[in-house]
Amino acid sequence: MNRFTYEELFVGQTAEFSREITNEMMDKFCEISGDVNPLHKEESFAKDKGYPGRVVYGMLTSAMYSCLGGVYIPGENCLLQSVHSDFLAPVFIGDTLTCMGKIVEKNDSVRQVVIKAVIRNQEGKKVSRAKIEAGVL
């Protein structure tokens, strides 16, 4: 885990990490959220809608933005203030997602960094993008 102070963080600073989406993560997200939508739960429903398999919850992929702030930049001193995510392409179980973030702004008066981030799948396709505001404790 990184432990950057506000002063150590700089515009242009980047971080990157990857995770594979598993069936178990899908089950856990369903329990946390209560989102039992069949697009995420039933293979046959997803196929009827034209997808090759169950579609991964957009907000499960966005959980990576929590990790980006809380573990990478700023890391330990992070207090997430907002996450604005856009879902650009469907994600499927077994996909390996890579989350990349870059600090684009520092707001000294409120000790806040603004991070632009994207998530790509194993084929390099952009599946999500976000703007994240994080306070630095």
Contact residues for a copy of itself (CB under 8 A)? 1, 17, 19, 25, 28-29, 31-40, 49, 55, 57-60, 62-67, 69-71, 75-76, 78-87, 137
- Minimum distance from residue 102 beta carbon to a copy of itself (Å): 19
* H helix runs in 4-117, sequence order: 23-33, 38-41, 43-48, 58-67
Nearer to a copy of itself, 8 or 76 (CB): 76
Nearer to a copy of itself, 12 or 114 (CB): 114
- Minimum distance from residue 95 beta carbon to a copy of itself (Å): 14
One-character DSSP codes across 69-99: IIIISSBTTEEEEEEEEEE-S--BTT-EEEE
Closest CA to 81 of 38, 48, 111: 111
Nearer to a copy of itself, 106 or 131 (CB): 131
CA distance 132 to 81: 8
- Minimum distance from residue 86 beta carbon to a copy of itself (Å): 4
- Minimum distance from residue 90 beta carbon to a copy of itself (Å): 9
Phi then psi for residue 4, to 5 deg, are: -65, 135
